[in-house]
Amino acid sequence: MGTITEELSIKGSLRKFFGFDKFKGEQEAIIKNVLAGKDTFVIMPTGGGKSMCYQLPSLMMEGTAIVVSPLIALMKNQVDAMRGFNSDDGIAHFLNSSLTKQEMIDVRSDIKAGKTKLLYVAPESLTKEENVEFFKGVNLSFFAIDEAHCISEWGHDFRPEYRRLRPIMEAIGKRIPIIALTATATPKVQTDIMKNLDMTEAGLFKASFNRANLYYEVRPKVDAIREIIKFVKQNAGKSGIIYCLSRKKVEEVAESLNVNGIRALPYHAGLEAPVRAATQDKFLMEEIEVIVATIAFGMGIDKPDVRFVIHHDIPKSLEGYYQETGRSGRDGREGKCVCFYSYKDIEKLEKFMKGKPVAEQEVGKQLILETVGFAETSVCRRRVLLNYFGEKYDKENCGSCDNCLHPKKKIDGQEEVLSVLETVKAVKEKFAGDHIMNVIMGKAENAVKLHQHDQLEVFGEGHDKDEKLWTAIVRQALLEGLLQKEIETYGTLKLTEKGKAFIKKPYPVMVVEDNEFNNTESDDDEEYGGGASADPELFAALKDLRKKIAKQRNVPPFVVFQDPSLEEMSIQYPITTEELKNISGVGGGKALKFGKPFLDLISKYVEENEIERPMDMVVKSIVNKSTIKVYIIQNIDRKIALNDMSKSKGMKMGELLTEIESIVGSGTKIDINYYINEVIDEDRQADIFNYFKTAETDSAEDALQELGENDYTLDEIRMMRIKFMSELGN
């Protein structure tokens, strides 16, 4: 074990090595415990100053302290910071897969020479046999296990390699003190960590989890990317982190931010290590405002002035959420934490668990249930979070979360909960939530009739209440532990013992009356637009203008702009060509060809009616880079037959035509005459083309009915409509 090298007071060392005059919270007591050679367990929220608890003792003791950390990014960050405080570059190093062979040799050389006081090691590197042998010959002061929650399957970031740390430390052959540190640990996780590291006698230091400077808010996930862009623009010049569940969404959000003039970069495990390191440096140096990162990949960004953390997707656990939000406001000043929540995303997380071992599923289900409870609660969010970590919060109103600032109306849902439980029982606990609600609401769907559940006494019992309320009731019953969901059997609802007792003896259950989280989008079906309603006066004026222009150009009105495009214009009020291009179904070609009179009309309308345009309008959607569309355009240019294209892509002809219609609809001019001339004779072409010249709508089905189903095929009509729209509209 290391000893103190010189008679310096701890505070004197703090001043000498780091230039600070006082410790934060329990830092001093923790450091004294480490210096005394005792095992130490530190639970300290992000921003509480955990790293100081091992950095200072490492400088005061003989030998090298090994810090095990899963975050390669954080290692570089911490090493740079340590070297900044001390002139000797050898004082701190990291050992991980990002080093070259020569860099590895240099690190070992400094450790052998006794220069290195602090060595950051990835758990994978520590378990390598060559490193175990090397450390046997090194004077070590102590082990620091950072992010110790990774040991526990109940933690939000379980890593199996962390469970091998104790045997590895024993293989190195020295019983030296351990300091385990984590920013998040429920009582269950604490016990798991201490048992696994064989440090049940360790001194436990637990700081309060209350981050009073943070504001918590959960929003329904509707037009999430637009909402994020608006939020970031309202907080212009401030640093922020946006978390997403998938790499694909990370890339998409980062690109959307950049297109809208916000300096942002993506950050996920799929990027090369040098790219991630460069991104982190740009964030720290404020060359970029926002980092968009995957939840699955811990960033370890040690930046005190992050002013907001946004979750595009709800995290898998409350521990994960707490740790990620904890990256904001580490300097004690403003920190806004906004999370977008959709129950569809929860269902997706549940699907990810299918096929996993039962024990893992049980843990995952419980963690997800706690997250749903937090998202949908109507009580103080701070209180829910602190309670989760075993800490009591006495205030009724924290004054710094959406629920405290805007309380939700609650009702007693005792009768409704009873109806749900009785229905689950009546259908023999063999059906999922959707089926249960169809029975209660009296919807005689096929599955309901097939199983004769329309004959049950409970059928239609809740027909007078809307689906939104019943969805909330089912989820509340799950949260209360009255029901449980079987993931392997596609979400079948089962009664718990508590649920069976409730049927015999019901009691009040408070439910939020107006739950906003049902009609939201998930990652897969997110689109721009929607949600708002068109300005009827402007919509009518735009239709009149379209009619007038169509008459002048001798084309049907739908060739100019289709109704959905006009509708979106009357929601978004575009006044520049750039803005008009972002309206669906317009694109660059149409904006230039037809746009000016429409923009003039909208500008005048906005000015005369003193309309405050939605900030949404400055939100530009990113270009659809669909590979299939690029493939189609390139192959049409090469005059490849459409049927050959559809075969090579394994598509039906109808599916291929839908893709081409989408390309033409967005204003791109394409020429498929080479193929039309081969498969449709001239007279038939002329008949279809002339029909569309005078048609009131662009409906292919209407055209087929008018021209005769026995004489023409739908594919022929669709091809001619593509030709017509491309030649006259684009």
- Confidence band for 325, pLDDT divided at 50, 70 and 90: very high
Question: Rounded to the nearest 5 degrees, what angle is found at the Cα of 663, between the Cα atoms of 658 and 668?
Answer: 150
Higher pLDDT, 521 or 635: 635
pLDDT confidence of residue 489: 64
Q: 3-state class of 41 per DSSP?
A: strand
Higher pLDDT, 625 or 236: 236
Short-list 138, 152, 348, 312, CA closest to 232: 312
Higher pLDDT, 179 or 51: 179
pLDDT confidence of residue 627: 66
Give yes or no for residue 647 having a pLDDT over 60.
yes
- Confidence band for 90, pLDDT divided at 50, 70 and 90: low
- Percent of the chain clearing pLDDT 70 (strictly above): 88
The crossing angle, in degrees rounded to 10, of helices 10-18 and 52-60 is: 100
Higher pLDDT, 64 or 87: 64
Give yes or no for residue 354 having a pLDDT over 90.
no
Pairing of strands 290-294, 239-244: parallel
DSSP string over 297-332? S------TTEEEEEESS--SSHHHHHHHHTTS-TTS
Q: Which of the residue ranges 119-123, 308-312, 708-712 would you say has the lowest mean pLDDT?
A: 708-712
Distance CA 372, CA 394 (A): 23
Q: Which of the residue ranges 162-166, 512-516, 726-730 would you say has the lowest mean pLDDT?
A: 512-516
pLDDT confidence of residue 244: 92
pLDDT confidence of residue 392: 80
Mean pLDDT of the chain: 83
DSSP string over 86-149? SS-GGGEEEESTTS-HHHHHHHHHHHHTT--SEEEE-HHHHTSHHHHHHHHTS-EEEEEETTGG
pLDDT confidence of residue 615: 46
- Confidence band for 424, pLDDT divided at 50, 70 and 90: very high
Give yes or no for residue 232 having a pLDDT over 60.
yes
**Each residue's pLDDT tens digit, 653-669:** 888 898 898 888 767 78
Residue ranges of domains in the chain, CATH in brackets: 10-206 (3.40.50.300), 214-405 (3.40.50.300), 414-508 (1.10.10.10), 536-616 (1.10.150.80), 627-729 (1.10.10.1390)
What's at 451, amino acid-wise? H
The overall longest dimension of the chain from CA atoms, in Å, is 103
- Confidence band for 4, pLDDT divided at 50, 70 and 90: very low
Taking residues 31-35, what's their average pLDDT? 93
Give yes or no for residue 535 having a pLDDT over 70.
yes
Give yes or no for residue 492 having a pLDDT over 90.
no
Taking residues 99-116, what's their average pLDDT? 86
- Confidence band for 626, pLDDT divided at 50, 70 and 90: low
Enter the pTM of the model: 0.58
Q: Which of the residue ranges 253-267, 515-529, 606-620 would you say has the lowest mean pLDDT?
A: 515-529
**Each residue's pLDDT tens digit, 571-585:** 778 888 888 887 877
Question: Rounded to the nearest 5 degrees, what angle is found at the Cα of 202, between the Cα atoms of 199 and 208?
Answer: 120
Give yes or no for residue 126 having a pLDDT over 50.
yes
Q: 3-state class of 411 per DSSP?
A: strand
Higher pLDDT, 199 or 533: 199
pLDDT confidence of residue 730: 63
Higher pLDDT, 205 or 358: 205
What's at 599, amino acid-wise? L
- Cα dist from 232 to 360, 571, 618, whole Å: 37, 22, 12
Q: Which residues contact 76 (CB under 8 A, 6 or more apart)?
A: 94, 277, 280
Taking residues 441-450, what's their average pLDDT? 86
pLDDT confidence of residue 33: 93
Contact 565, 544 (CB under 8 A): no
B/e letters for 366-401, b = 16+ CB within 10 Å, e = fewer, are ebbbbbbbbbbbebbbbbbbbebbeeebeeeebebb
Higher pLDDT, 543 or 302: 543
Pairing of strands 510-512, 140-145: unpaired
- Confidence band for 137, pLDDT divided at 50, 70 and 90: confident
**Each residue's pLDDT tens digit, 287-307:** 999 999 987 555 556 688 899
Structure tokens at 593: 């060809």
Pairing of strands 492-495, 483-486: antiparallel
pLDDT confidence of residue 616: 45
**Phi, psi of 107, rounded to the nearest 5 degrees:** -60, -50
**Each residue's pLDDT tens digit, 14-30:** 888 877 788 888 899 99
Structure tokens at 153: 């399957």
Distance CA 297, CA 268 (A): 6
